[in-house]
Structure 1
């Protein structure tokens, strides 16, 4: 089994090197390294907020938005790199703080293993769709940008006029599929942007971080609802 795994990894490495040129590989390494830092920061924010409520979830969400806007409006220059990285990590930390109430609710009223299942599921989904996007022909998934944006706009409008809970219940599985598709789209978009000279790997890692968080939230919600229905049936 170990030999088979090593063989598959060697095959993936060859395919990766043949599909992606060296500058893009280096760029992706920077993107995923920054993404890992953002995930650690987000996890830390959730952990601290669950153990000891440092701010209200509303304040956490507001600080996340302010950090995000600051990050987006600060110029992408070498001089501002440290400030933008700090803003990115502050934004991901605040996202973690705002996620804490959902985690606490699951810990109090549901099977705690749901959280582990959602984390593992999110990791597998992200890795699978990322590899698929990287190894696909150049530009294959870029057509998804239009339909995905249209879907999100439609859902936003429906939430305004019909109520958030009604729309969320009706589109839960579809929304999970949409954010899985966003991983395909954003990964390939990052590669194409790099090929066109865009070196801003901080912004690119933010795109993937938001995809990852959304997949986790949708997956956690699905698992929580299944557990709630199971309890009611019993």
Structure 2
């Protein structure tokens, strides 16, 4: 927990070292031109993956295609991308877009619910996720190289806790408290992964790993994980607010 607190605490040594100042902005020059070009490719590919995911969500709204099959198809396409040689760029890019479409369809039921309750919730969740993603990515780029990579072990432990809690809840049944813990703790974990994965991508690119499709897939999964949790939190808050209004009227 000290690692997380030092990361988010502006009074800590790590926080003071990464304040938005001219000195911190100069850290961006430690990223070589070829790594910057690689990051540009990664974020352009991520942008197209998000567009494809939006198409998949729209297809679910129209044809109700999202479900277990699209989830399995997403996992299959991701494995396909990772197992295909990097030199087959067109094929891997197409499979990544297919994975994004299936992922969007899988999240479609949640998006459909948000549209029925209040469309502004969907927009706010996407904007909030985009802002968080941009801020955490910028923090990773402006920080010293490998500074936040130590968080990877803590985040992996947190992810294991979430998986075991989800497994136990599916067998023994879950409570509202456990659900809230999974929701907020999962949001914290995947927000941390945004930072760690960005620095990991930069470090790998410095060592010659310029597989931008694989790196875009990593950031895409982080983005969707955070977006889903923010959307669920906002939907839950809106539902509780509507219930309080009904009770007051009654």
TM-score, length-normalised on structure 2? 0.83
Tell me, yes or no, if structure 1 residue 199 matches structure 2 residue 210. Answer: yes
- Report how far residue 15 of structure 1 moved: 3.6
Match of 1:147 in 2: 154
Between the aligned partners of 1:63 and 1:207, the Cα distance in structure 2 is 17
Tell me, yes or no, if structure 1 residue 135 matches structure 2 residue 142. Answer: yes
Structure 1 residues 153-212: Cα deviation after superposition (integer angstroms, max 9, x where no partner): 111112112337543322322211111111100000000001111111110111100010
> Residues 87 and 117 of structure 1: is their aligned pair in 2 closer, same or farther, counting only changes over 3 Å?
same
Tell me, yes or no, if structure 1 residue 75 matches structure 2 residue 85. Answer: yes
Tell me, yes or no, if structure 1 residue 66 matches structure 2 residue 76. Answer: yes
Match of 2:54 in 1: 43
Match of 2:6 in 1: none
Tell me, yes or no, if structure 1 residue 161 matches structure 2 residue 168. Answer: yes
- Report how far residue 139 of structure 1 moved: 0.4
Query: 3-state SS of the aligned residue for 1:142?
Result: coil
Between the aligned partners of 1:64 and 1:199, the Cα distance in structure 2 is 23
- Report how far residue 69 of structure 1 moved: 1.3
Tell me, yes or no, if structure 1 residue 34 matches structure 2 residue 42. Answer: no
- Report how far residue 111 of structure 1 moved: 2.1
Which structure 2 residue ranges, 5 or more long, are not aligned? 1-21, 246-250
Which structure 1 residue ranges, 5 or more long, are not aligned? 1-10
TM-score, length-normalised on structure 1? 0.88
Match of 2:194 in 1: 183
Counterpart among 101, 120, 145 of residue 109 in structure 2: 101
- Aligned length in residues: 220
Tell me, yes or no, if structure 1 residue 115 matches structure 2 residue 126. Answer: no
Structure 1 residues 26-52: Cα deviation after superposition (integer angstroms, max 9, x where no partner): 110110011011011101111122123
